[in-house]
Amino acid sequence: MCMLEHEFNYLELEQIESTKPKQIKLKLLDRKDAFLVTAGSLDEASRIIEFIAESLKRVFPYTPLENDLTQ
């Protein structure tokens, strides 16, 4: 298994997309490319998305997410 870490600020997130099982695409502002994350399982992919959503809700508690997965 190869692990590559990327660092970005949550405020740079423009879009989170998952069109295939276990794959998450993170589109950042001011970037043409996106980060593609492949999780080991569907449960892991869900946890990644939930972690990002919870982190954003802590920073912006009164701003609704477009598709709120934390409820």
Give the tens place of pLDDT for each residue, 53-68. Answer: 888 888 888 877 766 5
Percent pLDDT > 90 in the chain is 13
Strand runs (DSSP E) across 1-71, as ranges? 13-17, 23-28, 34-38
Give the tens place of pLDDT for each residue, 34-55. Answer: 888 889 999 998 888 888 888 8
Which 8-state DSSP code applies to residue 43? H
Taking the model in full, what pTM does it have? 0.72
Beta-carbon count within 10 A of 25 CB: 14
